[in-house]
Amino acid sequence: MKKIIPIALCLNIFSSSLFAQDVDLNPIVVIGNRQEQRLSNVMTSVSVITREEIDRQKPQDLIDILQGEPGMEVRRSGGIGLSSSIFMRGANSNQVLVLVDGLNILDEFTNTPSLPNIPISQIDHIEIMRGNASALYGSNAAGGVIHIFTKSRNDSYGPQGLASYGSRSSENIIVGYKNKYNNTKFDISYNHQQTDGFRTFDANAKNIDFGQVPNPSNNPFSSNNVSLNMTQFISKDHEFGIKILASEFKVKNDSGSNASRISPSYYVSNSGLDLMQREDSKQLLMQAYSKDVITSYWNSKVAVGVSNTANRFNYNDDNLSGVSIGTYNTHQTNVLWENDFVLSDNQTMLIGLESRHARVIASDMYFQVPNTDGSPAVNSARTTNSIFAGYTSKFNDIGLQLNVRHDATNTNLSSTTGLGGLSYDLTNHWKIAGNLSNAFDAPSLGQLFGGPGSGANPNLKPERDKSKELSLQYFEGNTLGRIVYFNRESKDLFSQTGPVNGLGFNSWENINKAKNNGTELSAKTLINDITIKMSATFQNSFDATTHTRLKRRAKEFGSLELSYPIKQFTLGSQMLVSGNSLDTSFATGKNTFNSGFAVVNLFANYKYNENWSANLRVENLFDRTYQVVNGFHTPDFGAFLTLQYIPFNSENSK
């Protein structure tokens, strides 16, 4: 309660301020109930990262822009392209679903998404829903959903370009072209990004007895991607579109060991230093969709999507002779039929069918030794068929949301999940809302059928989660603020602590229970031309069996962002703060703590004319040294200058 009082005071301060101009704080979102609704009408905890915010901050990658969102902690083992975890309300990364234009980009072997394959240049906006979302989106959504929408608004036409250069020899080049011919819109773009990176592994985080001798080399990263969007308006009620995003990245990092296993012996580096590991990843996302207005009260959407992800690991990039190589391929096909019904001015209904087929093929000289006949060690598939429905209404001051979904697989895993929400308008500006929900997370194909090297267990059960949430919201003109209390409980969590198999790896099992309760604050307002965006999260994430803190979760964290326009300039700053977090020492294997931190970033934008603009971004202004994953460095001070050209014209002028 002591923490909630100052939060409420902040909202009152915002609400009593005088505003100089309007800002779009109440955009239309779809993530909250899979139907269009204003952000202020959403009953669950939802936030939006707009394209304007992305353009203003000019982040280096997706991870940078996600930091600072309420309830969300981002943990990366070094620089761009390296292993990342997203904890949402304390939930593990496998419990946070990431969608790109509705496509699930989950790696069915690791049970996590390949985030470096999503270039920041292709993102239009991001919608984030915190809390159980399985009743809307199925498995892997117990912690929440991050829905990334790629650029598709053809509001400017002609050639476009961007060039950026900065610290650590970072380069970013974008060229593209957009146009419209009669009833057809299209845009195509190419993006190249690279950086020399920095030394990933902390020199003090070593254990020579375990073969850990940190390599002083940097972790370079490079990526290329091409996107194509095309929309054909058959009539005002019928639209057909195609979206294609092809991407690849390469990253090199300290493997954490100076030995690499090559069956039946080991290869030890000549230098005695840790081997440098290289990852090459390629991803192709393709989707065709049709949006149709069937009647005045029935809108229908059919979408067919395909995603292919191929990851190749070279466990000794410095000496290719006899090197261990690992290849992991995931292929997914998704078919969706979604129907929105407008029952009345204040009632809508949703009915949909979805089918997702996934296959994983993997071989690895270290983890997944190929079969004696040379075939892949892992070649497994799964089909999940789902049906879902929803109802949303508003009667006077009372709002209601009901969602239910059933998911069934051909591997005998099934689950029925639900979400029920209720809201009440206290006044024209204040609203109270709450919801109850449950969720599940199915084990990945790698966890079920991945072979001895991954600790596979075909009897692994889905994780189960239940959540309750209560919120207080204030919305008026240029202020939108929300306080949310949440409580979630998880059981049958995946843990690789089972019996040791023949290769010396522990198998997966369901043993852990976890709980998290806390309070989130999110607010955005405009005070005398100064845009203020802030968030604060106070939580208690702990293992319900051992009653110890969950690792890499802070008890409190938050952000504050300010931006101010001065003629042709926009100046801004962002502060990210976090308390300490429990972790495992990379060197000793014992519990340790990552210290809390406060990092300040600056950004400035100069608009030369309607077409040309320049942006300067400064990261870690005071060059703070801190770690979010024990033993791994975070970026030090960095500065990045961007020049951008976008022709000024609008759809109305064409």
- Return the residue matching tokens 């407008």: 342
Please check whether residue 223 is in contact with residue 62, taking contact to mean a CB–CB distance below 8 angstroms. Answer: no
pTM above 0.85, yes or no: yes
Question: Residue 623 burial (CB < 10 Å; 0-12/13-18/19+)?
Answer: exposed
DSSP string over 398-418: EEEEEEEEEEEETTS-EEEEE
**Residue 320: predicted pLDDT:** 52
Q: What is the pLDDT of residue 387?
A: 98
The fold for domain 4-653 equals: Maltoporin; Chain A (2.40.170)
Are 341 and 297 a contacting pair, CB within 8 Å?
Answer: yes
| 448 CB neighbour count, 10 Å cutoff | 21
Per-residue pLDDT at 648: 76
For residue 592, what pLDDT is reported?
93
| Paired tokens of 485 | 């209390």
Pair 627, 203: CB distance under 8 Å:
no
Cα 211 to chain centroid, rounded: 34
Calpha distance 74→628 (Å, rounded): 8
Report the largest interatomic distance among the alpha carbons of the chain, rounded to a whole angstrom. Answer: 75
Ranges of each domain in the chain:
4-653
Q: 3-state secondary structure string, 503-530?
A: CCCECCEEEEEEEEEEEEEEEEEEECCE
Per-residue pLDDT at 210: 55
CA distances 645 to 161, 388, 427, 566, Å, are 5, 44, 46, 21
Q: What is the pLDDT of residue 6?
A: 41
pLDDT at 12: 41
Low-confidence ranges of the chain (pLDDT < 50): 1-22, 263-264, 651-654
Q: What is the per-residue pLDDT for 54?
A: 93
pLDDT, position 628 = 94
Question: pLDDT tens for residues 55-66?
Answer: 999 999 999 999
Contact 576, 612 (CB under 8 A): no
Using CB atoms within 10 Å of the CB of residue 442, give its burial: 0 to 12 exposed, 13 to 18 middle, 19+ buried. Answer: buried
**Interacting residues of 442 by C-beta distance below 8 A, sequence separation 6+:** 139, 140, 384, 407, 409, 413, 415, 462
Token reading at 181:
């011919």
- Between CA 32 and CA 26 the distance in angstroms is 14
112 membership: H or E segment, kind and range:
strand 112-113
